[in-house]
């Protein structure tokens, strides 16, 4: 098991948050969100306008992502059954349906068990804790609902990976400084293009690996984007195709939310807002569909 330490610089290992909240911690950066952060988020809700940040889930319509099949939605009881002669019983009729989909096939949040390196996950837990029956450690059921201050930046004008300097410029232009517990959302424009049928499911714009130190140092709880991975893909880092997932999720317990619908939020020109996201309590799952909202 790797050495657990926080706030120390090593030439052999990166700085991590392992052990910061205890050797058995499975919450990660959710520990940054206490009553103070919740109340700070609530204070951002001024007009009461609610903006959905979720993309629609449609039958057999996905994003062309490798390993992420489109959702399959079908009815097990409908009005057609009654039209064909099924009688209503006990004074009523009803409809029921079923949906089958990847947990990360639409707007979703990654569990801390989603990514590892050197067979080791967040806080030093072994990747062997993720079995054929699900995650015994760090599953999405360990993530509580998140209510905090949200911050959004629009980086869609830049097709190259968004470097840390550019991200700081976007924040500065809005007179916003990241705080511990924040949820930072980045619009790249990829989702809008995908919904038009103009996007490539094998590459997308996003954050550059050099954003990692900035975001880890800011103490954010969640990083989200309107693309499939938050970070640019393929990665400019030849050593790892998902370096930000490794540095932020695995090393610091920061949650990733992807395929978020951010166009309406950016059009509102409110850089800060109340952010609410709750995963489904899927025991042992390594991700969950979500329907997050921003309250302006």
The most confident of the ranges 4-8, 157-161, 266-270 is: 266-270
Predicted confidence band at 256 (pLDDT cuts at 50, 70, 90)?
A: very high
pLDDT confidence of residue 7? 35
pLDDT at 1: 37
11 pLDDT more than 90: no
Cα-based distances in Å from 175 to 151, 153, 171: 11, 11, 6
Number of Cβ atoms within 10 Å of the Cβ of 7: 8
5: pLDDT confidence band, cut at 50, 70 and 90?
very low
pLDDT at 202 (0 to 100): 85
pLDDT at 128: 99
Q: Please give the pLDDT value at position 219.
A: 98
Q: Note the pLDDT tens digit of each residue in 113-138.
A: 999 999 999 999 999 999 999 999 99
Task: Work out the number of other CB atoms within 10 angstroms of the CB of residue 37.
Answer: 20
CB 206 within 8 A of CB 242: no
Confidence of residue 251 (pLDDT cuts 50, 70, 90): very high
For residues 31 and 50, is the Cβ–Cβ distance under 8 A? no
Q: What is the pLDDT of residue 201?
A: 83
- What was the pLDDT predicted at 45? 99
**Over residues 110-115, mean pLDDT:** 99
State the pLDDT confidence band at 14, using cuts at 50, 70 and 90.
Answer: low
Helix (H, G, I), strand (E, B), or coil: what is residue 226?
coil
- Mean pLDDT on 97-114: 97
Domains of the chain: 28-60+102-295 (3.50.30.50)
> Do the beta carbons of residue 60 and residue 111 sit within 8 Å?
no
Question: What is the b/e burial string over 176-212, where b = at least 16 CB atoms within 10 angstroms of the residue's CB?
Answer: bebbbbbbbbbbbbbbbbbeeeebeeeebbbbbbbbb
Q: Residue 68 above 90 pLDDT? A: no
Decide if pLDDT at 75 tops 80: yes
Mean pLDDT of the 50-61 span: 96
| Percent of the chain scoring above 90 in pLDDT | 86
Collapse the DSSP code of 244 into the 3-class scheme (helix H, G, I; strand E, B; otherwise coil) and give the result.
helix
């Amino acid at each position: 098991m790797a050495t657990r330490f926080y706030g120390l610089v090593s030439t052999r290992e990166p700085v991590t948050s392992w052990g910061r909240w205890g050797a058995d911690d499975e919450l990660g950066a959710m520990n940054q969100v206490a009553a103070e952060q919740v109340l700070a988020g609530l204070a951002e809700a001024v007009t009461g306008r609610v903006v959905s940040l979720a993309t629609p889930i449609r039958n057999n319509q996905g994003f062309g992502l490798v390993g992420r099949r489109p959702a399959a939605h079908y009815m097990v009881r409908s009005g057609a059954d009654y039209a064909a002669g099924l009688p209503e019983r006990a004074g009523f009729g009803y409809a029921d349906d079923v949906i089958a989909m990847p947990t990360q096939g639409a707007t979703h949040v990654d569990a801390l068990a989603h990514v590892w390196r050197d067979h080791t996950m967040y806080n030093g837990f072994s990747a062997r804790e993720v079995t054929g029956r699900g995650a015994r450690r760090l599953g999405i059921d360990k993530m509580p609902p998140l209510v905090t201050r949200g911050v959004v930046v629009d980086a869609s004008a830049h097709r190259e990976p968004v470097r840390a300097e550019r991200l700081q410029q976007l924040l500065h232009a809005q007179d916003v400084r990241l705080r511990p517990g924040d949820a930072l959302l980045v619009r790249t424009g990829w989702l809008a293009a995908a919904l038009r049928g103009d996007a490539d499911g094998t590459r997308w714009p996003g954050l550059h690996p050099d954003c990692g130190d900035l975001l880890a140092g800011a103490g954010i709880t969640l990083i989200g984007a309107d693309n499939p991975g938050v970070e640019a893909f393929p990665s400019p880092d030849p050593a790892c195709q998902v370096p930000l997932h490794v540095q932020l999720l695995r090393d610091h317990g920061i949650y990733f939310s992807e395929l978020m619908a951010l166009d309406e939020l950016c059009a509102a020109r409110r850089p800060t807002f109340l952010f609410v996201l709750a995963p489904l309590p899927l025991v042992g799952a390594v991700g969950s569909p979500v329907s997050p909202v921003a309250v302006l």
